[in-house]
Amino acid sequence: MPAAATSAAPAPTALTVTGLTKRYGDRVALRGVGFEAAAGELVALIGPNGAGKTTMLSILAGIQPPDAGRVSRPPREIGWVPQQPAVYSKLSVAENLRLFARLERVADPDAAVAAMLAQTGLADRAGDEVGRLSGGNRQRVNIAIGLLAAPPVLLLDEPSSSLDPRQRARLWEFVTGLAEAGTTVVYSTHDVQEAERYADRVLVLADGELLFCGTPAALQAAVGGEATGPRDFEASFVRFLHERGH
């Protein structure tokens, strides 16, 4: 279950984003997007293709600068897990983790590597070349690298897109565990059911504009909920976009 839903007291704000704008020539990829995320909160970023999800995550991660707006935390305090595993396939799991721990200037790289291997359940595959791992395990290494510096905020760009259902379930078990431990997780996904199931809040982006920020239930309510007939979350999402001209 999402961590924020079970918290007794309101969690402190871990991330504040205000007025993010990004242009590529004449095209506006993001128009003044802003939101807040609490510590331990799971925030899903959903929207149609070209909505600006990856652009927003890459700005939050510090990969590209915004044309306007600000992010409350510097990139060093935000862990980033790209959609494609950003790992060296010729290096072993442990070597990949050790390399990035050193580049992140983690105080005790070996201890951080050991902790991540234990946390991701990859201790028995530590010596294996990443290129020989399954897609699910490779994604676990990818996430482990994002977590090496123990960031308070973790960004996941479509983390389950290349995984089979079993690997997907394991991934979400791991991610919700992180949130329960206090890490704020912001993830983008095309699978709106995943957003409904695992997110405390969803952000709906379309054409670079933030159309909605609230719980999945609030999104369903925004389009009339069950009152307008039985409808699953995906249908509500599509209707929501349709009603707003997208």
Residues that bind other proteins (CB under 8 A): 58, 61-64, 74-76, 80, 82, 84-91, 95, 99-100, 102-104, 129, 145
Least distance in Å: CB of 157 to other proteins? 10
Q: Is the CB of 100 or the CB of 172 nearer to other proteins?
A: 100
Q: Which helix (H) or strand (E) holds 237?
A: helix 233-243
Cα–Cα distance for residue pair 30/15, rounded to 1 Å: 18
Q: Is the CB of 6 or the CB of 89 nearer to other proteins?
A: 89
Least distance in Å: CB of 145 to other proteins? 7
Least distance in Å: CB of 18 to other proteins? 20
Enumerate the β-bridge partners of residue 209: 206
Through-space distance between the first and last CA atoms of the chain, rounded to whole angstroms: 31
Q: Is the CB of 47 or the CB of 85 nearer to other proteins?
A: 85
Q: Is the CB of 152 or the CB of 214 nearer to other proteins?
A: 152
The 27-38 sheet, strands edge to edge: 27-38, 13-24, 68-71
Least distance in Å: CB of 55 to other proteins? 12
Alpha-carbon distances, residue 106 vs 6, 15, 148, 222 (angstroms): 32, 22, 8, 45
Least distance in Å: CB of 86 to other proteins? 4
Q: Are 166 and 23 in contact (CB under 8 A)?
A: no
Least distance in Å: CB of 8 to other proteins? 35
Sign of CA dihedral 190, 191, 196, 198: negative
Q: Is the CB of 75 or the CB of 136 nearer to other proteins?
A: 75
What tokens were used for 219?
């999104």
Q: Is the CB of 52 or the CB of 82 nearer to other proteins?
A: 82
Q: Which helix (H) or strand (E) holds 171?
A: helix 165-180
Q: Are 190 and 237 in contact (CB under 8 A)?
A: no
